[in-house]
Amino acid sequence: MNARSPESVRDAAGGLQQEETISREVVVVNAAGLHARPADLLAREARKWQSRIAFVNDSQRADGKSILELLTLAAEAGTRLVVEATGPDAREALDAIGSLFESRFNEHENDQES
């Protein structure tokens, strides 16, 4: 499946609607990288939205709603990822996810906890 191509899907009312994938780049800026807690935060945020959400790096795609898959990205500080959202609330989902990255997942660099 080409994630970039519009897909025809049936909405709840049974009608046809077009779904397009939109994407944006995010950067892991917190020092500890995308470890368990950020992965948890991201998956929780992604699950709030109807859209399908994927994180893509050079070599793989991860389902944004799965902590297990997010952890397989092993994204260290400085890593750039592309987030793709496909669905009716894709724009809002991307904004919310982008904000989490920008807020460094609410981590302070001197925290001992990971």
Partner 1 sequence: MKFSDFVANDAVRSHVHAATKEGVIREMAQSLVDAGKIAPGDLEGIVKAIMKREDLGSTGIGRGVAVPHTKHPSVNKLVGTVAVSQQGIDFQSLDGEPVQLFFLLVSPPDRPGDHLRALENISRQLRDDSFCRLLKAAKEPVDIQHLLEEADSHGVVS
Closest to 37 in 3D by CA, of 70, 78, 79: 70
CB-based contact 101:28 (threshold 8 Å)? yes
Q: Judged by CB under 8 A, does residue 37 bind partner 1?
A: yes
Subset of 74-93 contacting partner 1 (CB under 8 A): 74-77
In the list 35, 56, 82, 88, the residue contacting partner 1 (rule: CB under 8 A) is 35
Is 35 noted as a catalytic residue in this protein? Answer: yes
Q: Sign of dihedral through CA atoms 18, 19, 25, 27?
A: positive
* Catalytic-role residue among 24, 35, 37, 61: 35
Interface residue list for partner 1 (CB under 8 A): 31-37, 39-40, 43-44, 66-69, 71-77, 112-114
